[in-house]
Amino acid sequence: MQERILFLLEKRRYAQLKEELLDINPYDLAVLMADIPIEHLPILFRILPKELAAETFVEMDHDMQEHLIKSFSDTELKAMLNELYVDDTVDIIEEMPANVVKRILKYTDSETREMINEILNYPKDSAGSIMTTEFVDLKKDMTVADAFERIRKDGVDKETIYTLYVTTKSRKLIGIVSAKDLMLSEQNVVIEDIMETNIVCVDTSEDKEVVANLFDKYDFLAIPVVDKEERLVGIVTIDDAIDVLQDETTEDITKMGAVMPNEDTYFKTSVWQHAKNRIPWLLFLMLSAIFTGTIITQYEAAFSSIPLLVSFIPQLMDTGGNCGSQASVLIIRGLALDEIKTSDFLKAVFKEIRIALLVGVVLAVVNGVRIIIMYNSDPSVNAYALAIVLGVTLMCTIILAKFLGCALPILAKKCRLDPALMASPLITTIVDACSILIYFNFAVAFMNYLIK
């Protein structure tokens, strides 16, 4: 398709090109345009009808949007902005340089500018920052016929008309009516008789991730946002909720991988920025390994007596780290999905301890059998005693790792920190030091039995 577009542009067959582009979804069109040389974007964009052009513009990355805005005439920019929803305009403004923002605001009408400023004044991670102020509201004494007339009059410029909100004169939210309810009711039925009064709504200051999770919980298409006086000030729609969940998931994954979060995509982020995002955690983890080295140094006497002990250190550290990672990943995900609450701390810890006992017994037995088979003929070491020492150490390490992997994310959530910070890199570092300490204490305690 890319070659086809470039061919038609080169031959100046704009009417034919427009006809072919009309059948493409706005998101797919934005993806397609990303592969077109940037100098062709203004021409290609001007070919599209206003509504399709605006929908495609919203799906583009910020570099493409900035390039197009700079290439627009004042008339074109004003026409395009008139087709955008307020929340989409806010998203664009937040990513543009100051000179571009100034030009955008210059060509928005005073009412839209007021709504944009209202949204921008809310905290970045709040429901108010992702809501749109464009919705259809009704009054409880309206009839269904009145409601349809209101939708036909005001609904064209609103982001959604599938859910309508019943408010008082002071804008207090008192009910919700779906488009389905209206279509299935008689024209003379009063809105008060069919509206749903059991309303799920959020405050403007509510965390946007909490709001996004409500969509999954209740299968909503939109959620009303109210202020402290319960006045309806906006709605959050499903498309914005999906964007929030995607951003939050990406942020959690990067934190769990010991990388500082970054807003740009992988290829748009410079090599220097990638390194900058990774170095702090790597430095912390590297320097924290000093404790492990110090512990090992203190037990040099045990090494000299039984050098074979050193060969089991990687096994213990890897097993402990892996067990801690398994627990932390499941707990962090459970916290993110609200399946696990901070009040479930003891319940979750008790479950992980039981899992650790089962896992520890299996790994200890299998490893013990391996040690006996491999080292029973070694004249310098008692294979059975070594199997017991390693088995007990494995059990203790796995229980500790599972406990930390479960407890630390929940405690972080309790302290209002991101549970993803307590992911595998940090837990592995802690477990490494503890497993070595446990291992050599047991080895020293059973030294007389280990040597034949």
Instruction: Report the pLDDT averaged over residues 268-281.
Output: 82
Instruction: Report the pLDDT averaged over residues 176-181.
Output: 93
Instruction: Report the pLDDT averaged over residues 43-62.
Output: 88
191, 209, 236 - which closes a domain: 236
Residue 261 lies in a domain: no
Instruction: Kindly state the percentage of the chain with pLDDT values over 90.
Output: 34
Q: Which two tokens stand for residue 422?
A: 């307590």
Q: Are residues 175 and 220 in the same domain?
A: yes
Instruction: Report the pLDDT averaged over residues 35-62.
Output: 88
Phi, psi of 124 (to 5 degrees): -60, -35
Residue 259 lies in a domain: no
pLDDT at residue number 302 = 66
Residue 258 reports pLDDT greater than 70: no
Residue 256 lies in a domain: no
12 CA to centre of own chain: 44
pLDDT at residue number 190 = 96
Instruction: Report the pLDDT averaged over residues 119-139.
Output: 91
Instruction: Report the pLDDT averaged over residues 133-158.
Output: 91
Q: Tell me if 409 sits within 8 A of 331, measured CB to CB.
A: yes
Mean pLDDT of the chain: 87
Residue 77's contacts (CB-CB under 8 Å, 6 or more residues apart) are 69, 103, 104, 107
Residue 254 lies in a domain: no
Residue 381 reports pLDDT greater than 90: no
Neighbours of 23 (CB within 10 A): 8
Phi, psi of 231 (to 5 degrees): -90, 135
Q: Are residues 318 and 349 in the same domain?
A: yes
Confidence of residue 431 (pLDDT cuts 50, 70, 90): confident
Q: Tell me if 80 sits within 8 A of 53, measured CB to CB.
A: yes
Q: Which amino acid is at 174?
A: I
pLDDT at residue number 364 = 93
Task: Assign residue 229 the CATH number of its domain.
Answer: 3.10.580.10
Q: Are residues 362 and 423 in the same domain?
A: yes
User: Shortest CA distance to 107 belongs to which of 119, 91, 131, 89?
Assistant: 89
Q: 61-94 pLDDT, tens per residue?
A: 888 898 899 998 888 888 888 888 888 889 889 8
Task: Assign residue 42 the CATH number of its domain.
Answer: 1.25.60.10
pLDDT at residue number 452 = 61
Q: Which amino acid is at 18?
A: K
Angle at 197 between CA 193 and CA 201, to 5 degrees: 145
Q: Are residues 156 and 296 in the same domain?
A: no
Residue 139 reports pLDDT greater than 90: yes
Query: Is 87 in a helix, a strand, or coil?
Result: helix
Q: Are residues 12 and 59 in the same domain?
A: yes
Residue 168 reports pLDDT greater than 90: yes
Distance CA 45, CA 54 (A): 9
pLDDT at residue number 449 = 73
Q: Tell me if 165 sits within 8 A of 135, measured CB to CB.
A: yes
Residue 447 reports pLDDT greater than 90: no
Q: 182-191 pLDDT, tens per residue?
A: 999 999 999 9
Phi, psi of 167 (to 5 degrees): -130, 160
Residue 102 reports pLDDT greater than 70: yes
pLDDT at residue number 186 = 94
Distance CA 111, CA 268 (A): 35
Q: 222-253 pLDDT, tens per residue?
A: 999 999 888 999 999 998 999 898 888 887 77
Q: Are residues 225 and 295 in the same domain?
A: no
Report the b/e string of 262-279 with b at 16+ CB within 10 A.
beeeeeeeeeeeeeebee
Q: Which two tokens stand for residue 439?
A: 């291992």
pLDDT at residue number 424 = 63
H-state helical runs in 60-142: 62-71, 74-83, 86-95, 98-106, 110-120, 127-130
Q: Are residues 154 and 19 in the same domain?
A: no
121, 146, 175 - which closes a domain: 121
Q: Are residues 181 and 284 in the same domain?
A: no
The domain containing residue 404 runs over which residues? 271-450
Q: Which amino acid is at 88?
A: D
Residue 243 lies in a domain: no
Residue 264 lies in a domain: no
Q: Tell me if 159 sits within 8 A of 237, measured CB to CB.
A: yes
Q: List the single range of 23-27, 49-53, 320-324, 415-419 with lowest mean pLDDT.
A: 415-419
Q: Are residues 174 and 35 in the same domain?
A: no
Instruction: Report the pLDDT averaged over residues 347-354.
Output: 95
- Secondary structure letter of residue 160 according to DSSP: -
- Structural domain tally of the chain? 3
Confidence of residue 37 (pLDDT cuts 50, 70, 90): confident
Instruction: Report the pLDDT averaged over residues 403-426.
Output: 84
Task: Assign residue 291 the CATH number of its domain.
Answer: 1.10.357.20
Q: Give 267 or 22, the one with higher predicted confidence.
A: 22
Q: Are residues 356 and 385 in the same domain?
A: yes
Please report the sign of the dihedral spanned by the C-alpha atoms of residue 366, residue 368, residue 372, residue 375.
Answer: positive
Q: 305-345 pLDDT, tens per residue?
A: 777 888 888 888 889 888 988 898 899 888 887 889 999 99
Residue 6 lies in a domain: yes
Residue 175 reports pLDDT greater than 70: yes
Instruction: Report the pLDDT averaged over residues 285-300.
Output: 77
Residue 296 reports pLDDT greater than 90: no
Residue 30 lies in a domain: yes
pLDDT at residue number 172 = 94
User: Shortest CA distance to 312 belongs to which of 402, 399, 383, 404?
Assistant: 383
Angle at 54 between CA 53 and CA 56, to 5 degrees: 65
Dump the DSSP string for 336-367: HTTSS-GGGHHHHHHHHHHHHHHHHHHHHHHH
Q: Are residues 152 and 288 in the same domain?
A: no
236, 253, 282 - which closes a domain: 236
pLDDT at residue number 203 = 95
Q: 190-200 pLDDT, tens per residue?
A: 999 999 999 99
Q: Are residues 294 and 408 in the same domain?
A: yes
